[in-house]
Amino acid sequence: MGRLTTHVLDTAHGRPADGVEIRVYALAEGRRLCATALTNADGRCDVPLLEGDAFTAGVYELEFAAGDYFERLGVEASDPPFVGDVVLRFGVADAARHYHVPLLVTPWSYSTYRGS
């Protein structure tokens, strides 16, 4: 069964990012909020963000509240922060597969890839 998962790693501090709010949007016919989640102590969500009938082919965005996470840690940042909300837009061609979209983030940079 297909599903969407994520993992947030705080590469500035070398640890998983816990307590990061995540919003999932589908971009078919506008921008529709599909799910919200919060990362656990391992930087992961306790359940898939989307799965089953809720996970279809199309274009999605994951929006990570990274700026709020770093502010909570007391990281000094500019106003507004250089990295605030991180939005990753990606396409799902085959919703029967597992799409794992990790975020590696610092207060000054971020990257992603299609994981397994």
Can you give the pLDDT of all 116 residues of the chain as single tens digits? 899 999 999 999 999 999 999 999 999 889 999 999 999 999 999 999 999 999 999 999 999 999 999 999 999 989 999 999 999 999 999 999 999 999 999 999 999 999 98
* pTM summary value: 0.96
CATH of the domain at 14: 2.60.40.180
For residue 63, list its beta bridge partners.
Answer: 23, 87
Domain count, the chain: 1
**Beta strand ranges found along the chain (DSSP E):** 3-5, 8-10, 15-16, 21-26, 32-38, 50-51, 58-65, 85-92, 98-100, 103-105, 110-112
Domain enclosing residue 30, as ranges: 3-112
Question: What is the C-alpha separation between 8 and 23, in angstroms, rounded?
Answer: 13
Pair of tokens at residue 46: 């306790």
Helix (H) or strand (E) holding 1: none
Q: Residue 41: enclosing H or E segment and its boundaries?
A: none
